[in-house]
Structure 1
Amino acid sequence: MDDAVQMLVDLLMVSAEAARAETGQCRGPYIRLQWSATNVHVVYLEALRDLSQTGRYAWGVAALVHMYDQLNDASISSSRQLGDYITLLQCWIYKHFPSFTESTADQDYNEDSLRACRWIATKKTGKSIHTPTYKERLDRLQISDVCWIPYGEHRPVRDFHLISCYSDLLRWGPVVVYYRPERVMRQFGYTQTISTLPVDSWVSYDDIHERWIHYSDHMVPADEVCVVSGQCASDYMDWFFLISHPFMTPG
């Protein structure tokens, strides 16, 4: 917290008292946009300290790390909100579950544009659907209702890079999360197999950095390419029903 306050003083040129009041209001090393609305981790400010260096950062990883961190918090039963850059997750849901959610597609969109530009954001539909309805729709989903390769149409514009199969810890500043692509191999076009559970052990920032630099040593083995969309190994579904919670509402 002291480091966050000092960063706000140095980079935003606010008083230490105002910085402490803001981080206290956010209950952590965060600030609110324009001192209001969505909370933003101050580590982003550190990344913008030297604007000449911003083009060298892996911003996609940064967005992913913070979204995963927020999803970890949102999975706690007492959580009531989800912060960070949710557009990435929202667009994935639109494409992955086309029959589940109602969205407005931009008729002028072409695949040369950014993927998020495919849909037009509106608040009307989201407010009209209540949480129990979403849970019921999830429970009724069939295999044919899911788009298992949501980025297939976009591949001619954005190639699939093997670094996407890196499986280990990701870090942005002090925020560290697990990245486990072996759990979603179908969206890469590979047959889904049973994945091993991660081993919780302390890893230094330097170790995480070293693993990322040598990502080829920490890759998920890409086994068989899917013959049909959504293909999985013969023993996968039995295992999935044993370790997961396949239904949102009580039977």
Structure 2
Amino acid sequence: MVGYMTLLEAWIYEHFRPFRPHQNMKYTIQLPHVHRWTPHREAGSTVSHLQALREELDRLAFDEVTWDPYRDCCQHHPCHEITFYSGCLKCLDVVEPYHPERVLRQFGRVQTIPLAPLDPVRAVKGVTVDRYKVMYQYLDQIWESWDNHVLSARKRSTLVKCPANCVDGYIQWYENIKQLYIQNPTHRSGFDPRAQDSRFDMQDAEV
């Protein structure tokens, strides 16, 4: 992974309580939410350290995940209408699909069964992983008129009463497309899901 990781780090701190660093005591609700944490820097993470982090992630229980971390600050920092734009985003020559309808829980809304994501127009596999490229169709005119490509009120769903709320049939749909445990085939964590007791009902949670 390369690039600007601050937003990803903040997302991890907000959702996964066991990984949080010290809280910034000077933070106020009027500041951008990313200022809430004082990230710690670790030089030269070892393989054993990364393996320990992987195993800790595998052991996370449902109640250790904060599904709606931004609820309290939404009134101070409401989502701009552009948040519900659905399509492709472009940065220089990189084009990536953006589908807010697939993560409605992050907006405090009941998760629905989404349509299939955008298909790439071409995918090229290189001799190394970093040369694998997926290309999506992108037109500058679409982004320039983004307000014509936002989710309708119906597709935004309704506000949740509980963070795990989803429409009827969603869990069954998710069961058919999920990969619950993903491990590096070369550097396995040693975690065996079959040896673990079920810690929450899949009808009430999404992994």
Asked if TM exceeds 0.5, the reply is yes
RMSD of equivalent CA atoms: 2.5
Q: What one-letter code is carried by the residue in structure 2 that aligns with 1:131?
A: L
Letter in 1 for 2:79: F
- State the one-letter code of the partner of 1:167: S
Question: Which residue is 2:178 aligned to?
Answer: 244
* Higher Cα Rg, which structure: 1
Once the two structures are TM-superposed, the CA of residue 182 in structure 1 deviates from its matched residue by 1.5
Counterpart for residue 28 of structure 2: 110
State the 1:126 CA deviation: 9.6
Kindly indicate whether residue 79 of structure 2 is the aligned counterpart of residue 148 of structure 1: no
- Which residue in the other structure is 2:37 paired with? 119
Counterpart CA distance in 2 for 1:124 and 1:170 is 32
> Following the alignment from structure 1 to structure 2, what is the Cα–Cα distance between the partners of residues 224 and 169?
24
The aligned counterpart of 1:195 is 114
2: CA distance, partners of 1:162 / 1:177: 20
* Structure 1 range deviating more: 104-113 or 234-243: 234-243
- Which residue matches 1:212? 143
Q: Please tell me whether the aligned partners of residues 102 and 125 of structure 1 are also in contact (alpha carbons under 8 angstroms).
A: no
For residue 178 of structure 1, report the CA deviation from its aligned partner.
0.7
- What amino acid is aligned across from residue 242 of structure 1 in structure 2? N
The TM-score, its normalising length taken from structure 2, stands at: 0.70
Q: 2:156 aligns with which of 209, 222, 230?
A: 222
Structure 1 residue ranges without an equivalent (≥5):
1-81
Q: Is 2:88–2:95's contact at 8 Å kept on the other side of the alignment?
A: yes
Secondary structure of the residue aligned to 2:96 is strand
Structure 2: how far apart are the matches of 1:126 and 1:157? 38
In the alignment, is the contact (CA less than 8 A) between 1:190 and 1:224 conserved in 2? yes
| 2:15 maps to amino acid | H
Q: Match of 1:154, SS?
A: coil
Task: String of CA shifts for 1:110-149, please: whole Å, max 9, x gaps.
Answer: 1112222111121259948723333333333333222222
Q: Secondary structure at the match of 1:195?
A: coil
Q: Number of aligned residue pairs: give it.
A: 167
Q: Say yes or no: does 1:84 pair with 2:15.
A: no
Contact 1:191–1:233 (Cα < 8 Å) also in 2: yes
SS in 1 for 2:19: coil
The residue aligned with 1:3 is none
- After superposition, the C-alpha distances for 1:14-59 in whole angstroms (9 at most, x for unaligned) are xxxxxxxxxxxxxxxxxxxxxxxxxxxxxxxxxxxxxxxxxxxxxx
User: Where does structure 2 lack aligned partners over 5 or more consecutive residues?
Assistant: 122-135, 183-190, 194-207
- List per-residue Cα deviations over 1:173-228 (Å, max 9, x = no partner): 221111111221101011112222223254654x2x22223323322311121111
TM-score, reference length from structure 1: 0.59
1:66-86: CA deviation from partner (whole Å, max 9, x where unpaired): xxxxxxxxxxxxxxxx11110
For 1:176, the equivalent position in structure 2 comes to 95
Counterpart of 1:135 (choices 29, 33, 54) is 54
CA deviations 1:147-186 (Å, max 9, x no partner) are 2222223223321122111111011222111111122110
Whole-angstrom CA distance in 2 between matches of 1:130 and 1:87: 21
User: RCO greater where, 1 or 2, for CA within 8 Å and sep 6 or more?
Assistant: 2
Partner residue of 1:75?
Answer: none
* Residue in structure 1 matched with residue 202 of structure 2 by the alignment: none
Of all paired residues, the percent bearing the same amino acid is 31
Does the CA contact (< 8 Å) of 2:14 and 2:20 recur in 1? no
